[in-house]
Amino acid sequence: MNKTVAIIGGGIAGTALAIGLTQKGVKAVLIEKDADWTPTSSGIFIYANGLRALDRLGVLDGIKTAGWVSPDGDNLYLTPQGETITRTIYPSIGGAHVPPIVGIRRVDLHRVLTARLAEFDVDVRLGVTATGFRDEPGRPVEVSLSDGAQVSCDVLIGADGVRSQMRTALFGEIEPVYTGFGVWRSTHAKPKEIDVKIMYMGLGIRLGIMPISDDELYMFGTTREPDKPFYPRERWHSLMREKFADIAGGPAAALLEEITSPERVVYTAVEEVHLQLPWHRGRVGVIGDAAHSSTPFMGQGGAMAIEDAVVLADMLADPLAEAGDISATLQAFGLRRFERCKFVQDVSRGVGEAGAIEDHQATIRRDERLRTLGQGDVDSFYARMAEAI
C-alpha cells in the first residue's frame, strides 16, 4: 500500500491518526506548528469509548500506566457543603481490560502517543505549518510548508484544532461559537485518600476533582461568563478562589486554599465548532476539534478526536478505498461521524447548563433529578457511546 496522508496538526487527533494509518501500512506525514511539541495545560479525562479507541492504537496499557485508573467508574456528586447528593457509575466499554475512566496529565498522554508513533517510520515535521495546498484532478495533492518544503500526498487532513486554518482554507471563516461558559483548571498534589472522581454541584458553579496520576489531581470548575470577559493571567488564581468560594466542605475547600499563584491555573473561555457536512472538499478534510469542538462538560472532545482518527485510518487503509475515490471516502467518513459528534456536543452543552443554574429552587430540583435519574442518564449516554464506531 503506497498511499500518503499528510496531517496538519499533531494534537490528539493528528497524532492518533498518524498512528492509526502507519500501523496499517499507510504512510503519514505529520506537520505540527509547535517546535517543542509539548502540551502545557493540566489534565484530561478519557472515558471508556475513548479508551476503547486508544486500545485500537496499541497504547491503552501505556495510558493506564501513566494515568489514574478509576477503580470502578465511581463519580461522587457533592453539595458545596460537602454532603453527598448521589453517586453514578460509569461503565466499561470494549472488554474488561478497558477501564471506565482514566485521568491523565496531558503531557503524559502526548508522551504515550508519540512513543507509539516513534515505533513506526513516520515523517514528523515540527515548527512548521501549511501555507497553502493544491488539489487538482489527476495529480497528487501538493502542500506548501512554511519552511519552503513541498509535500505530495494522496489525502490532506486538517487536525489543527478549534481555530483550524485548514477549516478556513476549505470553507472560509467559520468562527467558533462562544458558549457563555468559562472553565478554571488547577493542578495539585493528590491526597492519598482521594481515589474517586468528585463533582460539586453549586449555585451557578460546578467544580470537579479529578486524579490524573498516582500523585497529582486537577480541579475543573465551570462558571457562567456571558460577556466573555478578559481575565489577565496574573489574576487567574485569585479569581478561581473567588469564583468557587462557596465550596466550603469536603476536599475542595483545602485544595482551593492551595491556589496562591497563577502558575498552576488555566482559564479557558469555552467555544464550540459547528461545521456542517461535508467536512471535506475533494481530497482534503478536517477531523477532531477542527470539525466539531465541544464543550468539555462530558469530557468527550478528546475521545471524539481519537475515534475520528481510528475510523478515518480504517477507512483510508481499506484496500477498496485505495482503488476508489478519496473524496467519496472522506464523504462517507463525515456521514459516519457527524451525528455521534453532534450528539456529544448537545449532551455536553446540556450538562454545562445544568451545572450553572443560578436559581436556588431550581438547583434543588436539579439535585433531586440527579438522585433519581442521574444513573439512567449516564447509562443511556454510554449505551450510545458503546455502539460500534
Ligand X SMILES: Cc1cc2nc3c(=O)[nH]c(=O)nc-3n(C[C@H](O)[C@H](O)[C@H](O)COP(=O)(O)OP(=O)(O)OC[C@H]3O[C@@H](n4cnc5c(N)ncnc54)[C@H](O)[C@@H]3O)c2cc1C
Stretch near ligand X under the rule CB under 6 A, chosen from 76-84, 195-203, 274-282, 294-302: 294-302
Mark the segment that binds ligand X (CB under 6 A) among 2-10, 18-26, 54-62, 335-343. Answer: 2-10
DSSP 3-state of 257: helix
User: Per CB under 6 A, does 144 bind ligand X?
Assistant: no
Q: Which is nearer to ligand X, 46 or 59 (CB)?
A: 46
For ligand X, the binding residue among 69, 82, 120, 165 (CB under 6 A) is: 165
Residue 302 binding ligand X, by CB under 6 A: yes
Binding to ligand X (CB under 6 A): which residues in 22-81? 31-34, 44-46, 50
- Interaction between residue 305 and ligand X (CB under 6 A): yes
Give which of 129, 155, 134, 137 is closest to 313, Cα–Cα.
Answer: 155
- Residue 20 CB partners (closer than 8 Å, separation 6+): 56, 57, 309, 310, 312, 313, 314, 317
Distance CA 166, CA 95 (A): 36
Task: Quote the CA–CA distance of 377 and 109 in Å, as a whole number.
Answer: 28
Of 5, 6, 7, 12, which lies in the binding site for ligand X, with binding defined by CB under 6 A?
12
Interacting residue with ligand X among 6, 14, 28, 186 (CB under 6 A)? 14
Interacting residues of 74 by C-beta distance below 8 A, sequence separation 6+: 87, 89, 90, 196, 197
Residues belonging to the chain: 389
Residue whose C-beta lies closest to ligand X: 11
Least separation in angstroms between CB 98 and ligand X? 15
What residues pair up with 216 in beta bridges, in sequence order? 189
In the complex, the smallest distance separating the C-beta of residue 43 from ligand X, rounded to whole angstroms, is: 7
> How far is Cα of residue 240 from the mean position of the Cα atoms in its chain?
22
Among 5, 6, 7, 8, binds ligand X (CB under 6 A): 8
Single-letter residue type at 297 = F
Kindly list the residues in this chain that would bind ligand X in the complex (CB under 6 A). 8-14, 31-34, 44-46, 50, 129, 159-161, 165, 183, 268, 288-290, 296, 299-303, 305
